[in-house]
Amino acid sequence: MRNLRLIIHREYLARIRNRTFIVMTFLSPLIFVGMILLIAYLSMLNSTEQKIIGIHDDSGMFASEFKDTKNVQYLDYSGRDLADARQEVLTNEYFGLIHISSAPGEKTNVEFFGKDTPGFGTIENIEKTISDKLTREQLIDKGIDVSEIDKARAKVNIDIQNFAGERSSKMSNYIKMFFGGAAGYLLMMFIIIYGNMVMRSVIEEKTNRIIEIIVSSVKPIQLLLGKVVGTSLAGITQFVIWVLLGTVLLFGISSFLGIDPLAAQTPASTVVDQVPQPEINQLMVDILNLPYASLITFFFIYFISGYFLYSAIYAAIGAAVDSETDTQQFMFPIILPLILGIYVGFFSVVENPHGTVSTIFSIIPLTSPIVMLMRIPFGVPWWEILISIVVLIGTNIAVLWISAKIYRVGILMYGKKPTYKEIYKWLKY
Amino acid sequence: MENLLVAENIYKRFGNFTALNNVSINIPRESIFGLLGPNGAGKTTFLRIINQITMPDEGRVYLDGKPLHQDDIVHIGYLPEERGLYKSMKVGEQALYLARLKGLSKAEARERLKFWFRKLEIEDWWDKKIQELSKGMAQKVQFVITVLHRPKLLIFDEPFSGFDPVNANLIKDEIIQLKEEGATILFSTHRMESVEELCDYIALIHKSNKLLDGKVSEIKKEYKSNTFEVGLDAIDEATLRQELETRFQVGPARFKSIQDDLKLSIKIGENETSNELIQFLLSRARINHFVEVIPSVNDIFIKTVTQNA
């Protein structure tokens, strides 16, 4: 135990004193915040840009239907000569001119003149305004009371409850997806970044030729565990610094520059804008009602055992090779289940959190940490979680055992480019 | 208890390859024991087994009469053939870390390190990184780390192969001094000169088998062939040679001398003594040179290996 502590301590210090590590720790939040602010700034530019669109309405029916908005201002050219109107729009560099040519009783024809092709939103808006007006007019023509239709229009909002009577809403599904997705994605990133770090540190000890001095003092399994733990502690340190520094920077710089970082998520915020108040209240209730205790508990269980599982494999690979360039052939089996986990998570779990695919992949040990983390916010039966955790921990023990075997043989092997066959033989030494 | 380390019937196989085949070795207390053998004979595997880096398939190892245990690593100091240090760590910090892994407390380790660093005049290296040191300098640090926890048993794998001549000499002197202070030293080598100088005992491993072991002086006695090198000043060299050849086995000899002598190597009979040869020569020539031919470890090595080939 004493030695394990010493090793963890050394590994931790070795990681965080590494120059690249320090640079990345402080540079990454800067880059990240810079990106967010840039996107926010650009979308702000987009939204402050004002378009002026001219309307030349032959029928005189529609011009008044076009209401000015924050981004678009309409000018009425109806009654003027069309060629004049076009000329004026052109010389004033307005965005474009809508020409509605219809006499009552005839088919309405709409034209748009402009320097640039208008975006989907603009076109849709124009079409909708005209079609709404036309529909109404035609309904009135047929002698139908439009106000009655407006009254009759009903908004349906499904009130989702489970059998225990807990309410949830569509929005809460987004929230659950967000929590699960973030957890799964975080785990994948953590595994790739710090698993690689474990591997590199094993290779470093091999190439430095210090490994034999160390293993004459400690058991290889202690060294392996110390490395994995030390590196992950360094990883957690880095993550915490990223989050803290990122938050401070994001809000510090954005208030300094006057950019609203939330503007970067325009689509999401529009969704929220359109949600009526009761649903927002329900949303808050949903967020507060998420089973945090179990979420956090399972997050730690899956995060730690998932990370351990992959780190042990990374360490075994590091022990088997002489240099980082030799690791390529062994990377595929690591990356594949990770990517598969993320894919299953973002496609299958989102679609159907308790479907067959999601269930199976949340039990297969190499994908279960990611997939199960994504499923848990949606509520998973306890026995499924139990099976998944038992399988995961069992695999962990098996993989640690195999890795330790490969490790203790591999660290003393030099100059041989190992094959899978060769490594399989090491298991029997 | 006379032996510090006893290894009994050690077998080690790697797949189909047998690295050690029934090897038994006893290492007497406070001796310098040389483990000899050509490259790939199994020496390093044996040393790794004693260091519990690899486990034997069969056989047992006893240290101080008790079966070797994981905790015994603190009684062993090992300098492997493949040796290095963390490149980006400072010398002092690194030495402290490795010493503490061997069970020393931080304060104790620091104190002893200061002592050794002073002794080897490398005090100003404490805050340097290994990558700033030359290879020879790093070797000194490695040596200090190996002996720092004052182990009963010191194991050096090919200690002289990686070291430059100056450091090799330094290591040699330190090894002798450590032995005088009560340590037992086991080292492996395929270079025989160092064995002649240092070893009290040797064992010869060839192709995974132990061919020979014991006290160097006794082995040499066993391998001597009752042969003497003589330098003779005679009037009639040809007649003398003929006379000698009828009585003994005679061959040419080569040694340095200031005389223009007849140089011969003479093998006497199994039951004869040197006195009988001297008596025979006395009346026939002046004896300027008379030395018993003692087989060098190198000769014994080659002879044994070729015999068993």
* A208-260 pLDDT per residue, tens: 888 888 888 888 888 888 998 999 899 889 888 888 888 888 788 777 776 66
- B101: closest CA of chain A, how far (Å): 6
Give the alpha-carbon dihedral of B191, B194, B195, B199, to 10 degrees: -150
- B77: closest CA of chain A, how far (Å): 8
CATH class, domain B225-293, is alpha beta
Phi first, then psi, for residue A328 (nearest 5°) are -50, -45
pLDDT at residue A266 in the model:
45
Residue A89 carries which side chain, given as an amino acid letter?
V
B227-233 and B262-267 beta bridge pairing: antiparallel
pLDDT at residue A263 in the model:
55
Task: Indicate the range of A97-106, A374-383, B143-152 predicted with least confidence.
Answer: A97-106
Residue A278 pLDDT class (50, 70, 90 cuts): low
Residue of B nearest to A8 (CA): B97
Q: Which residues of A touch B72 (CB under 8 A)?
A: none
Check: CB of residue A168 under 8 Å from CB of residue A281.
no
Q: Which residues of B touch A414 (CB under 8 A)?
A: 82
- Interface predicted TM-score (ipTM): 0.79
Average pLDDT for residues A259-263, to the nearest whole number?
Answer: 60
Q: Which residues of B touch A408 (CB under 8 A)?
A: 53-54
Q: How many residues does chain A have?
A: 429
Q: Is the Cβ of A412 closer than 8 Å to some Cβ of chain B?
A: yes
Name residues 6-45 of chain A within 8 A of B (Cβ): 6-7, 10, 14, 17-18
pLDDT at residue A226 in the model:
92
How confident is the prediction along chain B (309 residues), in pLDDT tens digits per residue?
Answer: 689 999 999 999 887 888 899 999 999 999 999 999 888 888 989 999 999 888 899 999 999 989 998 888 889 999 988 888 888 889 999 999 999 998 899 999 999 999 999 988 888 888 988 888 888 788 888 889 999 989 999 999 888 876 778 878 888 888 899 999 999 999 898 877 778 888 999 999 988 999 889 998 898 888 888 889 999 888 888 888 888 888 888 888 888 888 788 888 898 888 888 898 898 888 888 898 999 888 888 888 888 888 876
CA B211, chain centre distance (Å) = 16
Neighbour count for residue B196 (Cβ, 10 Å): 13
Interface of B with A (CB under 8 A): 14-15, 48, 51-54, 70, 73, 76, 78-80, 82-89, 97-98, 100-102, 142, 145
* Chain-chain contact of A210 with B84 (C-beta, under 8 angstroms): yes
* Chain-chain contact of A212 with B83 (C-beta, under 8 angstroms): yes
Check: CB of residue B201 under 8 Å from CB of residue B246.
no
Average pLDDT for residues A197-218, to the nearest whole number?
Answer: 88
Identify the residue with better confidence: B26 or A407: B26
Domain ranges of chain B: 3-221, 225-293
pLDDT at residue A387 in the model:
92
Is A167's pLDDT higher than 60?
no
pLDDT at residue A270 in the model:
44
* Six-digit token string for A91: 């010389």
Residue A290 carries which side chain, given as an amino acid letter?
L
Q: Which residues of A touch B86 (CB under 8 A)?
A: 14, 204-205, 208, 210
User: Angle, to 10 degrees, between the axis of helix B91-101 and the axis of helix B135-147?
Assistant: 30
Residue of B nearest to A422 (CA): B15
Interatomic CA distance for residues A94 and B172, integer angstroms = 93
pLDDT tens readout for residues A176-187: 788 888 888 888
pLDDT at residue A169 in the model:
61
Is A290's pLDDT higher than 80?
no
Q: Which residues of A touch B76 (CB under 8 A)?
A: 216
Q: Which residues contact B110 (CB under 8 A, 6 or more apart)?
A: B96
Neighbour count for residue A217 (Cβ, 10 Å): 26
Residue of A nearest to B149 (CA): A217
Q: Look up the CATH architecture of domain A50-152.
A: 3-Layer(aba) Sandwich (3.40)
% of chain A beyond a pLDDT of 70: 86
- A329: closest CA of chain B, how far (Å): 24
**3-state DSSP assignment of residue B50:** helix
pLDDT tens readout for residues B263-288: 888 988 888 888 988 988 888 888 98
* Chain-chain contact of A14 with B86 (C-beta, under 8 angstroms): yes
Interatomic CA distance for residues A373 and A178, integer angstroms = 11
Average pLDDT for residues A316-324, to the nearest whole number?
Answer: 86
Residue ranges, CATH 3.40.190.10, chain A: 50-152
- B16: closest CA of chain A, how far (Å): 10
* Six-digit token string for A49: 């840009």
Give the position of tokens 């402290």. Answer: B96
Residue of B nearest to A4 (CA): B101
Q: What is the 3-state secondary structure (H, E, C) of chain A?
A: CHHHHHHHHHHHHHHHHCHHHHHHHHHHHHHHHHHHHHHHHHHHHHHHCCEEEEEEECCCCCHHHCCCCCCEEEEECCCCCHHHHHHHHHHCCCCEEEEEECCCCCCCEEEEEECCCCCHHHHHHHHHHHHHHHHHHHHHHCCCCHHHHHHHCCCCCCCEECCCCCEECHHHHHHHHHHHHHHHHHHHHHHHHHHHHHHHHHHHHHHHCCHHHHHCCCCHHHHHHHHHHHHHHHHHHHHHHHHHHHHHHHHHHHHHHCCCHHHHHHHHHHHHHHCCHHHHHHHHHHHHHCCHHHHHHHHHHHHHHHHHHHHHHHHHHHHHCCCHHHHHHHHHHHHHHHHHHHHHHHHHHHHCCCCHHHHHHCCCCCCHHHHHHHHHHHCCCHHHHHHHHHHHHHHHHHHHHHHHHHHHHHCCCCCCCCCHHHHHHHCCC
Out of B70, B85, B102, closest to residue A210 by CB: B85
pLDDT at residue A159 in the model:
65
Q: What is the CA radius of gyration of chain A?
A: 31
Is A272's pLDDT higher than 50?
no
Is A66's pLDDT higher than 70?
yes
CA B7, chain centre distance (Å) = 18
Out of B76, B87, B101, closest to residue A6 by CB: B101
Q: Which residues of B touch A10 (CB under 8 A)?
A: 97
* Chain-chain contact of B82 with A212 (C-beta, under 8 angstroms): yes
Check: CB of residue B37 under 8 Å from CB of residue B188.
yes
Record: fold of B3-221: Rossmann fold (3.40.50)
* Six-digit token string for A348: 């299958």
* Chain-chain contact of B86 with A208 (C-beta, under 8 angstroms): yes
Residue A373 pLDDT class (50, 70, 90 cuts): confident
Q: Determine the residue among B14, B47, B53 to mutate to test chain A binding: the one whose Cβ has the most chain A Cβ atoms within 10 Å.
A: B53
* Six-digit token string for A117: 């092709």
pLDDT tens readout for residues B37-72: 888 888 989 999 999 888 899 999 999 989 998 888
> What separation in angstroms does the CA of B263 have from each of B244, B250, B258, B260, B288?
13, 10, 12, 9, 10
Interatomic CA distance for residues A408 and A320, integer angstroms = 9
Residue of A nearest to B85 (CA): A210
* Chain-chain contact of B101 with A217 (C-beta, under 8 angstroms): yes
* Chain-chain contact of B83 with A209 (C-beta, under 8 angstroms): yes
Residue of A nearest to B79 (CA): A213
Q: Looking at the DSSP assignment, which residues form a beta bridge with residue A166? A: none
